[in-house]
Amino acid sequence: MNLTDKVALVTGGSRGIGYAIVEALASAGAKVVFTYVSSEERAKQMEAEFATKNQTVFSFRASAESFAEAEACYNFVLEKFQRLDILVNNAGITHDSLLMRMTEEVFDKVINANLKSVFNYSKLAMKPMMAQRAGRIINISSVVGINGNPGQANYVASKAGVIGFTKSIAKEVASRNITVNAIAPGFIGTDMTNKLNDKQKEAIISQIPLKRIGAPEDVANAVLFLASDMAKYITGQTLVVDGGLLM
């Protein structure tokens, strides 16, 4: 994949799947800005790491659910590069609880972080992409947004919402040569799954036809494909990356 001279923005790019996406896009030649919230030290380490490989990667502290902070991030991207070609809405959180025990605050927090954030960044991406008459928006959803999951009503609602949002926006901007797609990962090896004990991991793997938990790179490779010209006739779709879990 060759993304030389393309400019990409990745939300929640400092760890796990987000980091793998940043790495994949930068390795393909894109100039990348990623957002983070908590660790400035980690963000600066990443910038330095990519600089040693002559790759252009910048960090920007922004809370994904804040429209004002998203706008500040966009201004940063446009001041540096004067364009935006690829947006990856990856930022998200979980806060699991059975519905009877779930507070309104927890429900709203997950919806805002996972769904409103996609609205924020996608809305802001419209102006430069429509002016360019080209662009790629890739939204990270989840398999649970398709089949549901007990104890995650807030998270599932947010990820199902991402899929519906993706289809609607894809229809709005297709005439401007902007594609909008979603990726629905299954179980991926991140900090979250690494906390599971061996018995829990075995139970998960038993449900996956490919008999392994996915790697962040599996999702990043799907992003790379959808961001490239190889996917220029694909829009409004949800690409499931789950080792066959939903079959």
Which positions are catalytic?
155
Name the DSSP letter for residue 215.
P
| CA 200/CA 184 separation, integer angstroms | 21
Kindly state the helix (H) or strand (E) to which residue 88 belongs, with its residue range: strand 86-89
Asked if 193 and 218 count as a contact pair (C-beta separation under 8 A), the reply is no
Closest CA to 178 of 224, 222, 130: 130
DSSP 8-class letter at 229 = G
CB 89 within 8 A of CB 117: yes
